[in-house]
């Protein structure tokens, strides 16, 4: 089994990739999408969204990062993919799943799932433009308004050069509302054949979710998104459960204690804050920590208290001091 960290614009950026891959359990990450809109992007844009390119396309913990491109024009996408290839990415992923209105309004992301022929043209152009050894993969949803074209879209990707598919098991119209329809993924596997690896994605928040997703999708490999942000030890917990003999989802409690206790989370949170202060603008910093704490509330009772305390802080020094106090308090408690 392989576990991947999902690309999530404005959330799972290089800072969080660094922190989550230090926790462990992930085999590969995918960058936030790099938007291509008719011009050849300068090197600084690629490096800003994926600074791991300066570290052999790996996080500082050594986990490979694949660069994701989003666009709808085959010529422009091919030109940018060719330039990106010179920067040494682990591979190039193509986004056919973003549901954002601004993206879809300009013909990118999930909106392309309405036109399999356009997908075929774009994937083929990118595949021709980059060296043969460089993997080209794709991430898709089950469709735009419905699932009527999901098989044709998947075939358009794989028959024109995509060596791997991640399937977010919802349509664009479904957004991020539960449930994810993992049981639809075998229909895509049947359409593309057994030679193309399929990775299941969507609504995996717990070990039980992961096992149910594997059972219903038939996929050994999973991509984790918000579930890993809310529970940074989720990948480790999934691996631990499978190491015990691949139990069925019925054999696992719906709620398990986090694999990473809150006291062990705090040093990771401090590193996150240091990186945020180093790399993000002052007006972004506090919001990023609050955003993460907001998701952590889903798994950690302690995060609720932390969120309420931090949400009223606006000064960077005050937040830094708060974090230091939290670490000191837990250290004192452990030595008491």
Enzyme catalytic residues: 98
307 phi and psi angles, rounded to 5 deg? -60, -45
First to last CA, the chain: 41
Query: Residue holding tokens 């460089």?
Result: 134
> In 3D, which of 34, 63, 64, 35 has the Cα closest to residue 49?
34
CA distances from 238 to 28, 150, 206, 217 (A): 15, 29, 8, 16
What's the chain's Rg over C-alpha atoms? 20
Pairwise CA distance, residues 322 & 141, whole Å: 41
| Residues ≥6 apart with Cβ < 8 Å to 295 | 226, 229, 230
């Amino acid at each position: 089994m392989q576990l991947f960290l999902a690309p999530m614009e404005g959330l799972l950026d290089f800072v969080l990739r660094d922190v989550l891959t230090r926790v462990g359990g992930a085999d590969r990450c995918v960058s936030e999408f790099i938007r291509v809109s008719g011009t050849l992007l300068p090197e600084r844009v690629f490096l800003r969204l994926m600074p791991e390119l300066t570290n052999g396309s790996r996080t500082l913990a050594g986990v490979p990062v694949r660069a994701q491109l989003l666009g709808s024009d085959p010529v422009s996408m091919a030109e940018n993919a060719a330039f990106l290839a010179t920067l040494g990415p682990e591979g190039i992923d193509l986004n056919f799943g973003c549901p954002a209105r601004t993206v879809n309004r300009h013909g990118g992301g999930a909106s392309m799932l309405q036109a399999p022929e356009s997908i075929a043209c774009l994937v083929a152009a990118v595949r021709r433009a980059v060296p043969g050894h460089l993997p080209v993969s794709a991430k898709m949803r089950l469709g735009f308004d419905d699932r009527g074209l999901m098989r044709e879209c998947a075939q358009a990707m794989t028959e024109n050069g995509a060596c791997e598919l991640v399937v977010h098991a919802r349509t664009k119209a479904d957004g991020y509302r539960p449930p994810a329809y993992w049981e639809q993924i075998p229909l895509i596997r049947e359409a593309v054949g057994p030679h193309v690896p399929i990775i299941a994605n969507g609504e995996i928040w717990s070990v039980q979710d992961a096992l149910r997703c594997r059972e219903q999708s038939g996929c050994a490999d999973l991509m984790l998104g918000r579930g890993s942000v809310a529970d940074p030890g989720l990948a480790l917990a999934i691996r631990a459960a499978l190491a015990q003999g691949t139990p069925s989802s019925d054999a696992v409690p719906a709620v398990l204690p986090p694999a990473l206790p809150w006291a062990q989370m705090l040093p990771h949170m401090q590193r996150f804050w240091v990186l945020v202060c180093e790399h993000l603008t002052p007006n972004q910093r506090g919001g990023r920590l609050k955003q993460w704490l907001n998701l952590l509330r889903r798994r950690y009772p302690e995060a609720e208290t932390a969120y309420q305390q931090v949400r009223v802080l606006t000064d960077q020094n005050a937040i830094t001091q708060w974090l230091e106090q939290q670490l000191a308090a837990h250290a004192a408690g452990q030595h008491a």
